[in-house]
Each structure stands twice: as structure tokens, then as C-alpha cells.
Amino acid sequence: MARVFLMDYAGTGDYGTQSIRVWCTAAVTAGDWIAIDSNDTTNPSALEGWSFVTADSGVEGDYDTIGVAMDTTTAAGFVTVQIGGRYDGANVADAVTLGQNLVISTTAGRAAAVAAEGTSSRIIGKALSAGDANNDANVWIFPHPAFV
């Protein structure tokens, strides 16, 4: 996998971000949090690397979460995932408030505040705005140690 570094210094308010292109084993919606698919025993060998899926604390927990999907797919395929920096419109619980640390919730692809999910999880980001009725918020993605 090649790393792609996206930088926007055009005065749009975006900070430098990093993204990678990964194989997701199922449909993904832009804004969903993505994790290493630790249950996939077929694709990693075939692709000579890891495969990925929307993250949830019941299957792929916070420790495997790598970032937020930038693309939407209707089936398995390659997706660009932002692995660090500011992301506007990430999937978060509507109860999230500005400044809260985020972990993966039990809803696939969605982050929630640490207080709502407990403190034994890896913090994956910070809310830069409150969650809204559409379960969207601006966030700062904390890079996964494997991609730093």
C-alpha cells in the first residue's frame, strides 16, 4: 500500500492530513470510522496486506481503528481512509460535545465520547464540534501507531 499525503494550505481552514488507500471487505460510507478487519482470514493473504471494515467496539475495537473513510462504496473495494488530521462530517453519536475525546461505539462506523463508552479504549480522536441530528461532527483524527 502506498501512503498518500494530502495537504491543503489554500486558506480553506483545512490542516495537513494523511490518507491511505485500503481494501474494505464490505460497503463503506464516507465519514465512517474504519478498522483492520481482524476476522478476515482470506483477503489479507490474497492482497498481501491487511483488509479493513467499518469499526465497532464489538468486533474491531478501538485498537484496530485507523481513521475515517473519505469514499463511499456499495460493495467490497478500495477506499481512501484519512488516518490523521481534521475531518469534517465524521460519523459520531449525536450526544458528542465539543472537545470530547472519542472512542469507537457499538454502532458500526460511529465514534462516541469516552464517557459514554468507558476509558479502557484507545482514544481515536477529538470532537472539534458537537454531534448533530445526522450523527456528524468535525473531528481531529489521532493517528494509529501502525501508521505513524
Q: What is the pLDDT of residue 62?
A: 58
Q: Residue 61: pLDDT band by 50, 70, 90 thresholds?
A: low
Fill in the DSSP letter of residue 47.
H
State percent of the chain over pLDDT 70: 74
Domains of the chain: 3-147 (2.40.300)
Q: What is the mean pLDDT of residues 43-60?
A: 65
Report residue 138 CA to chain centroid gap.
12
Task: Please tell me whether the overall predicted TM-score, pTM, comes out greater than 0.85 for this model.
Answer: no
Do residues 58 and 109 lie in contact, with contact meaning Cβ atoms separated by under 8 Å? no
